[in-house]
Structure 1
Amino acid sequence: MLITVAKDGTGDCLTLQEALDNIPEEHDIVVTIRIKPGVYEEKVTVASGAPPILLLGEDPQSTILSWSDNAHTLGPDGEPLGTFRSGTLNVFAERFTAENLTIRNASGPGTGQAVAAFVNAGYAVFRRVRLLGDQDTLYTGQGKQYYNECYIEGDVDYIFGAATAVFDHCQIHTKRSRGYITAASTPEGTSFGYVFLDCEITSGEGVGEVYLGRPWRSYAHTAFIRTVMDNSIIPEGWHNWGQPDRERTSRYEEFESTGPGANPQSRAAWSRQLTAKEASEYRVFNILGGWHPEGY
């Protein structure tokens, strides 16, 4: 099934949400939603009962989904939305793929938590997607997630959550000083949390004192494998979030980091530098438990 979304009226629907809402309830095979170039200012939800969905944009520069809710925005009930209802794109479907588009929370700096993509899917794939925001840009709620050749930006805890997620050849960009890239909440007993493979960490001009991560929950796991790091990364690399007990249970790891931000000899004593043998286990197929993220 193919649905085309176009702001100029040349498609089947004018908005992305309209396209999703028009999928017949009994439909259970892949639905491709082609999004023509334009800035689509809407808040979008992919419901839990949706069939496998592929959102296919023209390219990230011309196909943009944007909204500006934040944790303090008042909802229909008159109460603040909170972090988990602030998302621009909200995915609850079991299987979901997005390619060639930008997902933006335009709330702006200093407005608090403001999620661009809230991903609470069973299996999710993002390819060549730009995720733009400030605090809490990407929420990885559950399941297994794969990000390939994506650009993700923010300033505080801008990749956070409990999912097992692979970031493969992505650019991770910090916008302001004294920030935190990740805030994992990996469940106890889970083999892998966040794994960054062959990524690049960049930052805005003059940005410094950026931490690779801090543990949102006690068993947080984050690993950077062969990642190029600019000089924004603080030498100790990792922060305990003011809770020293989490140093015993969190797993923070690196292997062959390069660039001016790579300082293995100065890293926090409770983090680890992996051996080559250990790092060899950090393969996409293995991390994702035998699932190959080909998309749908």
Structure 2
Amino acid sequence: MDGAEYKREITVAPDGSGDYTTLTDALEGIRAYMDYRVTVNLRPGVYREKVVIPSWIENVEFLGAGADSTVISWGDYASLDNMGTFRTYTVKVEGCDITFRNLTIENSAGEVGQAVALHTEGDRLKFDNCSFRGNQDTVFTGGRGSRLLFDNCYIEGTTDYIFGPSTALFRDCTLHSKRNSYITAASTPDTVMTGYVMYRCRLTAADGVDKVYLGRPWRPYASTYFIDCEMGGHIVAAGWHNWRNPDNEKTARYGEYGSRGAGAEKADRVGWATALSPSEAARLSDPAVIFTSAPGCMHWVP
């Protein structure tokens, strides 16, 4: 395709009223390594497709009609044909400088073990007013040293439903636990200053759920902090789990500041987690600080 034929605004509609009927086909209409911005409008509908956004797709905004209206859905899971966890994604994002807004990404497999909805590898990714629905391993932040921003998002799951090595700020999000288990399983490398920061988030749970941990370290230097979050009574008093390995207590970087709600009781928190100072909490919740501390483009501030 000649460069002049590429559009800066693309419309996708399952009913055929747009430029394309599937998101996968629409990716073919985006020029590789663009130096300009492209908007992909996703009209209401359920897009039943497994999507890979390749590394040569950059500077794109995928704009849905609303998290309740625009849904990307697939149903792979780890034990299906011995697929393994890391191939189960509904959407995999390899490109950088990409924004998703007003849409839902779901893994519809049900409670059948590991089943990823969103898998990220690219850097400087933003998710605004999006929903991520699944069970075990809903959101996999897979890029070592990559930086992600989740704003006003809804994320649900059962076990380790936010996991991986990336630096990610979750701001004003709802984290909904569907079963007694663990919210996060960070695998932050020891060379990366900050892993996950949950800032002003709401921790909710399904009926009957009453024993949920804030996190457990998938790898020894896991970094996860909860700052100014509202925690329901489903959060256990200990707060954190060592993944049945006491050695992780020496290296995991866990902490809180300003927690409130029935699950915010501090007296019985594990002794190896940090009670952050006001200045530490301010630093960790400032995108200009935590994102410039990660590898990659050192001047990106979301």
- TM, length-normalised to structure 1: 0.94
Question: What CA distance in whole angstroms lies between the structure 1 residues aligned with 2:268 and 2:90?
Answer: 38
Aligned equivalents of 1:73, 1:2: Cα separation in 2: 37
Q: Give 1:40's match in structure 2, choosing from 42, 47, 67.
A: 47
Match of 1:226 in 2: 228
Task: Count the aligned residue pairs.
Answer: 286
Residue in 2 aligned with 1:77? Answer: none
Aligned to 2:153: 150
| Aligned mates of 1:120, 1:189 — CA distance in 2 | 18
Aligned to 2:170: 167
Residue 292 in structure 1 maps to residue 295 in structure 2: no
Partner of 2:182: 180
Choose the corresponding residue for 1:276, options 275, 278, 282: 278
Q: What are the within-5 Å matches in structure 2 for residues 235-250 of structure 1?
A: 235-250=237-252
CA distance in 2, matches of 1:25, 1:139: 25
- What do the CA deviations read for 1:124-144 (whole angstroms, capped 9, x no partner)? 000000000000000011200
Percent of residue pairs identical: 45
Deviation at 1:242, TM superposition (A): 0.8
Q: Secondary structure at the match of 1:286?
A: helix
Write the distance in 1 (CA, Å) between the matches of 2:224 and 2:190: 13
Deviations 1:135-192, CA, capped at 9 Å, x for gaps: 0000011200000000000010000000000000000000012x10000000103111
Please give the residue correspondences for 1:1-296 in structure 2 after superposition, counting only pairs within 5 Å. Answer: 1-25=8-32, 27-74=34-81, 80-109=82-111, 111-142=112-143, 143-177=146-180, 179-282=181-284, 283-289=286-292, 290-293=299-302
SS class of match (2:99): strand
2:34–2:59 contact (8 Å) kept in structure 1 = no
Contact 2:33–2:56, Cα closer than 8 Å, also in 1: no
CA deviations 1:191-248 (Å, max 9, x no partner) are 1100011110000011011000000001000000000000000100100001110100
- Between the aligned partners of 2:194 and 2:10, the Cα distance in structure 1 is 36
Equivalent residue letter for 2:60: I
In the alignment, the residues of structure 2 paired with residue 149 and residue 199 of structure 1 have an alpha-carbon distance, to the nearest angstrom, of 9
Amino acid at match of 1:50: I
Distance 2:207 2:242 in 1: 26
Task: Give the aligned CA root-mean-square deviation in angstroms.
Answer: 1.1
- Separation of aligned partners in 2, 1:2 and 1:81: 36
Is contact 2:33–2:58 with CA below 8 Å preserved after alignment?
no
> Any unmatched runs of 5+ in structure 1?
75-79
- TM-score by length of structure 2 reads 0.93
Q: Tell me which amino acid in the other structure corresponds to 1:8.
A: D
Deviation at 1:27, TM superposition (A): 4.2
